[in-house]
Amino acid sequence: MQLIVAGAQIPVTESVSSNEAAILRAIAFAAKAGADMLVTPEGSLSGYTHKFDAGAVVAALGRVTAAAGQAHVGLALGTCFVEPADNHCYNQIRFYAPDGSYMGFHSKTALCGTLNKFSEGEITYYARKPLEVFRVNDVIVGGLICNDMWVNPMCSPESDNHLCRQLAGMGAKVIFHAVNAASGRTDFFETLRQFHEANLRMRARASRIWIVTVDNCAPVPDAPVVSPSGIISPDGYWVVRTPIFGERFFAQTIEIAEK
């Protein structure tokens, strides 16, 4: 089986309109490449914040999904969103099939927080739901958001539940990974990039699964991303790895082993 996957390393701001414009640029690229699915960074529509304009996000989501459906591009769309079913806020990847139909969402599970006895941070802002998988063109796929993949010991008050492996155990062949890591140019940010890249490659190989990953690029042109964007094979090797500076798009056909 084959799947054409695309990714967008785009700036994520607190302006919903600016974020929408970046996502529409990515959809146009993915449509031209004939992509089945496009993944965008964590919080790419709402901004990486729980303090977003819920009405503006709903309106922008309607325009973005309409554009993707018209272009026959499926979406693994990173956004924070207030679900009307329970009125809870989730940091999520919303999955849409290439025909535009909504399939459901993955909620960030390894939420970041302080390491105090009573943790504070996004762990107090966002709700969570059970892990699930989705089907795109007969391929089972899943989503993970940023810390879900690597469970950074500096900001993870809970234990590593190996979500990548769990998705593989549920039959997933591809993980769409939406990231929003801090940007910086110090030696320590280089250490963080190495940590992220090592985890991406090792977990892909350990779970024998494709990973399509994208980070938020800083609006400052000389600030590198702290998690490389691209595609990693089930052997743990980069098939596509974008430059770590600026807005970047990629698309690639991947071969999905049936067993």
Domain segments of the chain as ranges? 2-255
d(CA 128, CA 144) in angstroms, rounded, equals: 12
- 217 with 11: CB under 8 angstroms? yes
In this prediction, residue 184 has a pLDDT band, given cuts at 50, 70 and 90, of low
The pLDDT of residue 69 is above 90: yes
Amino acid identity of residue 171, one-letter, is G
| 93 CB-contact burial (10 Å; exposed 0-12 / middle 13-18 / buried 19+) | buried
> In percent, how much of the chain has pLDDT > 70?
97
Check residue 48 and give its pLDDT: 95
d(CA 145, CA 84) in angstroms, rounded, equals: 21
The end-to-end CA distance of the chain, in Å, is 11
- What pTM did the predictor assign? 0.97
Average pLDDT, the chain: 95
The pLDDT of residue 220 is above 80: no
Joined together, the tokens standing for residue 58 give 């709903």
Which secondary structure element, helix H or strand E, spans residue 187, and what is its range?
helix 187-207
Which secondary structure element, helix H or strand E, spans residue 202, and what is its range?
helix 187-207
What's the average model confidence in pLDDT over 96-121? 94
DSSP classification of residue 61: H
Residues with Cβ within 8 Å of 247's Cβ and at least 6 positions away in sequence, in order, are 8, 9, 10, 11, 22, 25, 217
d(CA 31, CA 48) in angstroms, rounded, equals: 26
The CATH code belonging to domain 2-255 is: 3.60.110.10
44: closest CA among 5, 11, 73? Answer: 11
Task: List phi, psi (to 5°) of 65.
Answer: -70, -35
Helix/strand/coil for 164: helix
